[in-house]
């Protein structure tokens, strides 16, 4: 997806121009994938720009860094504040923020011990990630990364080679998005989203264990519970998903995306389901600052 650049990037403690934010060919992470990142959205609200769940994202960034042995050369507070300063400095009101930590230049061989560690944050305006009112999803022949192969709930750059393979596979077959099963054959998640199904008014989302448990997933679960819906985190199979009344994906980039078809099977009546609609609306109200109950999730930039 082509993006619109902004003026500044924060790199290793300094603001530099977007054009100068480059890395050397001999950058360890470029070769081996041991980097970690976050995707964070910010929104224009009547009371100013807000960053959604910033503290949680920064915590996960540091957790992910720990999973690949990185000691971040800045504190969580310094990175948190750098994000706010960057958004302000770039003078954009809504979009996406990408912090990235990587093993840097001048160190080759798989063992990263001793390699320099770099950190940068970029942000840019970003509209809808999956550009449709509802989408068609196909189960990938690739399995979600086995939880014993990696720290599966860390957001490690290398994990996304698995996601990219699945996306390429299903795009070739004409679908909008991929779906992963886990090593037990249970429905896991999308390449960059969690999944929910609604059956008899109950929301069901795969239990933790093989997924990246997203903050959008967490927000939707809390919102749904507060609205009186029953929410269950439990494993289920594809046949259960095919028989669902409603299905939707959640993620920072994707937000809340209704799914109308999985593997050529129509979900419900093929239209956006009523509970999906209610939750989508509630989520957008929250991120737009219209729900005082959830203001703890919002960081105001100004
Ligand atoms: C594999 C995967 N699952 C789920 C998610 C959703 O997580 P979040 O809602 O925190 O963006 C993402 C996105 O970060 C992801 O990459």
CATH of the domain at 252: 3.20.10.10
Write the pLDDT tens digit of every residue in 139-184.
999 999 999 999 999 999 999 999 999 999 999 999 999 999 999 9
The arithmetic mean of pLDDT across residues 104-112, rounded, is 95
Ligand 1 atom nearest 189 alpha carbon? 3
Active-site residue, selected from the candidate residues 155, 172, 222, 296: 155
Host H or E run for residue 197: strand 194-199
The arithmetic mean of pLDDT across residues 21-41, rounded, is 98
Of 60, 163, 41, the closest CA to residue 98 belongs to 41
Structure confidence at residue 132 as a pLDDT band (50, 70, 90): confident
Q: Which residues pair with 52 in a beta bridge?
A: 298
Give the model's pLDDT for residue 75. 98
Write the pLDDT tens digit of every residue in 254-279.
999 999 999 999 999 999 999 999 99
Ligand 1 atom nearest 159 alpha carbon? 1
Give the model's pLDDT for residue 130. 75
CA distance 198 to 246: 5
Tell whether 75 and 46 lie within a shared domain: yes
Of 193, 48, 42, the closest CA to residue 121 belongs to 42
Cβ count within 10 A of residue 102:
26
Protein residue with least CA distance to atom 12, ligand 1: 192
Percentage of the chain modeled with pLDDT above 70: 100
Taking the centre of ligand 1 as the mean of its atom positions, its distance from the CA of residue 107, in whole angstroms, is 30
Q: Is residue 231 part of a domain?
A: yes
Q: Is residue 118 part of a domain?
A: yes
Tell whether 20 and 161 lie within a shared domain: no
Tell whether 100 and 162 lie within a shared domain: no
Q: What is the pTM of this model?
A: 0.97
Angstrom CA distances, 128 to 94, 101, 207, stand at 12, 25, 27
Taking the centre of ligand 1 as the mean of its atom positions, its distance from the CA of residue 167, in whole angstroms, is 15
Q: Is residue 297 part of a domain?
A: no
Structure confidence at residue 297 as a pLDDT band (50, 70, 90): very high
Residue 215 reports pLDDT greater than 80: yes
Q: Is residue 302 part of a domain?
A: no
Tell whether 30 and 154 lie within a shared domain: no
Angstrom CA distances, 259 to 47, 55, 88, 130, stand at 32, 30, 35, 11
Number of domains in the chain: 2
Output DSSP code: residue 269: T
Q: CB within 6 Å of ligand 1 — which residues?
A: 39, 189, 192-194, 212, 214-217, 250-252
**Residue-number span of the structural domain to which 273 is assigned:** 135-287
Give the model's pLDDT for residue 2. 83
Taking the centre of ligand 1 as the mean of its atom positions, its distance from the CA of residue 114, in whole angstroms, is 30
Tell whether 88 and 15 lie within a shared domain: yes
Task: Tell me the pLDDT of the chain averaged across its residues.
Answer: 96
Give the model's pLDDT for residue 96. 97
Give the model's pLDDT for residue 294. 96
Q: Is residue 294 part of a domain?
A: no
Tell whether 80 and 155 lie within a shared domain: no
Pocket mutation for ligand 1, best pick of 55, 147, 216, 222 (most atoms within 8 Å of C-beta):
216
Q: How far is CA 72 from the centre of its chain?
A: 21
Tell whether 74 and 139 lie within a shared domain: no
Give the model's pLDDT for residue 1. 79
Residue 129 reports pLDDT greater than 80: no
Give the model's pLDDT for residue 292. 87
Residue 70 reports pLDDT greater than 90: yes
Ligand 1 atom nearest 211 alpha carbon? 3
Residue 203 reports pLDDT greater than 90: yes
Give the model's pLDDT for residue 127. 82
Tell whether 207 and 255 lie within a shared domain: yes
| Cβ contacts of 275 within 8 Å, gap of 6 or more | 198, 201, 203, 229, 245, 246
Of 124, 144, 177, the residue that ends a domain is 124
CA distance 1 to 21: 19
Structure confidence at residue 62 as a pLDDT band (50, 70, 90): very high
Known catalytic residue at 155: yes
Of 124, 148, 170, the residue that ends a domain is 124
Structure confidence at residue 45 as a pLDDT band (50, 70, 90): very high
Protein residue with least CA distance to atom 7, ligand 1: 214
Taking the centre of ligand 1 as the mean of its atom positions, its distance from the CA of residue 192, in whole angstroms, is 5
Tell whether 119 and 142 lie within a shared domain: no
Taking the centre of ligand 1 as the mean of its atom positions, its distance from the CA of residue 69, in whole angstroms, is 21
Structure confidence at residue 128 as a pLDDT band (50, 70, 90): confident
């Amino acid at each position: 997806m082509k993006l619109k650049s902004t003026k500044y990037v924060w790199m290793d403690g300094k603001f530099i121009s977007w054009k100068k934010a480059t890395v050397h060919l001999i950058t360890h992470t470029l070769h081996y994938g041991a980097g970690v990142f976050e995707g964070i959205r910010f929104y224009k609200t009547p009371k100013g720009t807000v960053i959604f769940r910033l503290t949680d994202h920064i915590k996960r960034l540091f957790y992910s860094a720990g999973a690949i042995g990185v000691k971040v050369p800045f504190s969580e507070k310094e990175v948190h504040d750098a994000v706010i300063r960057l958004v302000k400095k770039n003078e954009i009101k809504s979009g996406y923020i990408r912090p990235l930590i990587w093993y840097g230049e001048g160190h080759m061989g798989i063992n990263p011990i001793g390699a320099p560690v770099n950190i940068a944050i970029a942000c840019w305006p970003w509209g809808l990630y999956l550009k449709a009112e509802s989408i068609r999803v196909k189960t990938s022949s690739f399995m979600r990364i086995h939880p014993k192969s990696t720290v599966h709930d860390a957001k490690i750059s290398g994990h996304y080679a698995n996601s990219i393979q699945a996306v390429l596979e299903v795009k070739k077959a004409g679908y909008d998005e991929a779906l992963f099963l886990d090593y037990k054959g249970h429905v896991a998640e999308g390449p960059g989203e969690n999944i929910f199904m609604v059956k008899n008014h109950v929301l069901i989302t795969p239990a933790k264990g093989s997924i990246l448990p997203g903050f959008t997933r967490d927000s939707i679960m809390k919102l749904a519970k507060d609205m009186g819906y029953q929410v269950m985190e439990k494993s289920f199979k594809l046949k259960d998903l095919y028989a669902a009344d409603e299905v939707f994906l959640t993620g920072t980039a994707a937000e809340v995306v209704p799914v109308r078809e999985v593997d050529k099977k129509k979900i419900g009546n093929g239209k956006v389901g009523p509970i999906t609609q209610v939750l989508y609306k509630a989520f957008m109200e929250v991120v737009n600052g219209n729900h005082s109950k959830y203001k703890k999730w919002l960081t105001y930039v100004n």
